[in-house]
Amino acid sequence: MKTNSDVPAGTFTHYALNQNESLKSVSISDLFSELIVQTAFDIKATSQKQAFLSHRLWNNLQSYSDVQSMMG
C-alpha cells in the first residue's frame, strides 16, 4: 500500500469517477443520508483519493443546491 511518503512531491494523480452499478437501485435521498452519517463526526479523509472525491462532491453539491439559479 502506498503512503504519502512513497509518492514524490509534485506527482500528478488521477482518480476516475466510476458509476457503481450496484447503487443504481438506491435512491439519491438514501445515498445523501448515508453520506451525511458517514461525515458527521469530524472524520478527516485518510487518503488522497478520499480528499479528491470529497472536494469534487463539495463543488458538485454547491451547484446542485443552488436553488436561486434554478428559480431564476
Q: Tell me what pLDDT residue 69 has.
A: 55
pTM exceeds 0.95: no
Contacts 24+ apart (CB under 8 A), 67-71: none
pLDDT tens string 35-49 = 888 888 888 888 888
Confidence label for 8 from pLDDT (cuts 50, 70 and 90): low
Q: Which of 32, 40, 38, 43 has its CA nearest to residue 65?
A: 32
For the segment 9-66, what is each residue's pLDDT rounded down to a tens digit? 667 776 666 777 887 898 989 988 988 888 888 888 888 888 888 888 888 888 877 7
The rounded distance, in Å, linking the Cα atoms of 64 and 59 is 9
Residue 70 reports pLDDT greater than 60: no
